[in-house]
Structure 1
Amino acid sequence: MDITIYHNARCGTSRNALAAIREAGHEPQVVDYLATPLSREQLRELIAAVGLPVREAIRSKEAAFAELGLDAPGTGDEALLDAMAAHPVLLNRPFVVTPKGTRLCRPYELVKEIL
């Protein structure tokens, strides 16, 4: 099965999702999105595939979120996408893509729905 995980090795949820994929007998393509940031368009496509509003795909608890003023009322999707492209740490994780669908796997057990 062709599986891609957008992974942050420092994130416990991301590590657990990767382990669950491997325990199910699959070896995914692991994309370290901090080292290889996604483009604005890739982010838009990934988030749309999940069916989430852009705001739900951003980590609002990251310091950069407030530092960039993204908590201001009326901050739109385009500004959020720009921020995530420039500061990949703002992307929520892990996103997993399989032939059965795409999910933001928080909690990590959601990965089982698409394996």
Structure 2
Amino acid sequence: MKATIWHNPKCGTSRKTLAILEETDGVDVTVVEYLKDPPTRDKLAQLYADAGITPHQGLRIRGTDAKERGLPDADADTVLEAMATEPILIERPLVETDKGVALCRPQDVVLKLL
């Protein structure tokens, strides 16, 4: 099975999720450090739609200026554009497999994708 993780190596939850993926037999993991190689606005929209969540649910508030910028109250397109421009605003980790997409917080959420 192929799995792609949008990963931040400085995030403990992201590291733990990656470890689960790497330790699971038969999983071929692609790691995308999204702060260095951010997804496009369209890719983010697809990931959130496939995960069944809104861009607002994928918005990282803690450690960002999202509240100050009014992003929690902005429309979805504005949130997606902000995330694509400033990937620190993307909550992590997102994982995509053939079984779907999930925002893996807590890390055990990834198990439903394997």
Q: TM-score w.r.t. structure 1 length?
A: 0.92
Answer whether contact 2:95 2:104 (CA < 8 A) is retained.
yes
1:17 paired residue number: 17
- Aligned residue for 2:91, secondary structure, equals coil
Answer whether contact 2:64 2:89 (CA < 8 A) is retained.
no
1:28 paired residue number: 29
Q: How far off its partner does 1:54 sit?
A: 1.2
Gaps of 5+ in 1: none
Q: How far off its partner does 1:112 sit?
A: 0.8
Answer whether contact 2:13 2:93 (CA < 8 A) is retained.
yes
Distance of 1:46 and 1:92 partners within structure 2: 12
Q: How far off its partner does 1:68 sit?
A: 2.4
**Aligned-residue CA RMSD (Å):** 1.2
Q: How far off its partner does 1:62 sit?
A: 2.9
- How many pairs align? 113
Q: How far off its partner does 1:2 sit?
A: 1.0
Answer whether contact 2:48 2:55 (CA < 8 A) is retained.
yes
Distance of 1:41 and 1:90 partners within structure 2: 16
Alignment map for 1:98-109 (pairs within 5 Å): 98-109=97-108
Q: How far off its partner does 1:66 sit?
A: 2.7
| 4+ residue runs over 3 A deviation | none
Q: Deviations over 1:65-96 (max 9, x none)?
A: 1342324x4x1101101110111011011111
